[in-house]
Amino acid sequence: MQRVFHEQGILFGYRHPQSSATACLLSLFQMTNETLNIWTHLLPFWFFMWRFVTILYVTDIQNDSYSWPLLVYMGTSCVYPFASSCAHTFSSMSKNARHICYFLDYGAVNLFSLGSAIAYSAYTFPDTLVCTTFHDYYVTLAVVNTIISTGLSCYSRFLELQKPRLCKMLRVLAFAYPYAWDSFPIVYRLFLFPGESAQNEASMYHQKHIAMTLLASFFYSAHLPERLAPGRFDYVGHSHQLFHVCVILATHLQMEAILLDKTLRKDWLMASSRSLSLLQITGAMLLCLTFSLSNILYFSAALYRIPEPELHKKET
């Protein structure tokens, strides 16, 4: 088994490192150390899809411009768990396939980050920041963050074997700083300026979302509990499974908060703020997709430019 497939504290349950696509699909119904990683995102994907379709059904897409940011957010909330479940399903086909699967996973996560920023800009900004310069450039900088984050997280995979600590630090940073940027209006609203908008029913969900996201970050970076008892949590209970559960719960709480803000603040926001236009929303999403996919293609091509002897050297 090549080192690139090993996970810290996980000793058993690995699939064959050159599995066929069929074998990978069949592994969904076999107990491996990836099985729960797949299902903890695959099942929520269908739940989020159901909620998305339900909202689409009751929304006048053509005329209700106030709901456009919500639809973008709901769509991206379906993309990332599906991409993650696919990445965990097919990551044992080969070394390069494993990297490419996770490149796509990182791109989907960052697309969701932009979807969150668009929804926050439309519905959750604190009263005092609405229509400020910060508000005007908030989504623009969120686009830049997603592009940089995708590139940084993809690049980190090239350091896994030689510099694992630096790899982990870069990957955590790649996801942490876009989240910090996206969440700044929420933190400001809840803790720095507890005005009228901070007192509505959504505030409790925002607080729980932040707490659950911090817990997810802890599991992702700490490799607990498997680091304390290698081999005991190979199939059930290791940190990545717990990370997945926390991320899904955080998304659910975030979704509830955004839906409440959209409903409870509608009159004030429509009277006081400039809503994002279809051109702005579409442009932001297209820029994110174009540059993130360019990053993924560049780093995927780089995998095949590394000489094979050098790969063997890194793994010994």
CB within 8 Å of 279: residues ≥ 6 apart: none
DSSP notation for 25-36: HHGGGS--TTHH
Cα dihedral 238/244/245/249 (nearest 10)? 160
Per-residue CA distances from 195 to 82, 163, 267 (Å): 37, 46, 17
Q: Which two tokens stand for residue 82?
A: 């599906």
Q: Is 244 annotated as a binding residue?
A: yes
Q: Is 209 annotated as a binding residue?
A: no
Instruction: State whether the Cα torsion 242-243-248-253 is positive or negative.
Output: positive
Given a contact cutoff of 8 angstroms between Cβ atoms, the answer to whether 288 and 140 are in contact is no
Q: Is 252 annotated as a binding residue?
A: no
Distance CA 228, CA 6 (A): 16
Binding annotation: 88, 240, 244
Q: Binding site membership for Zn(2+): which residues?
A: 88, 240, 244
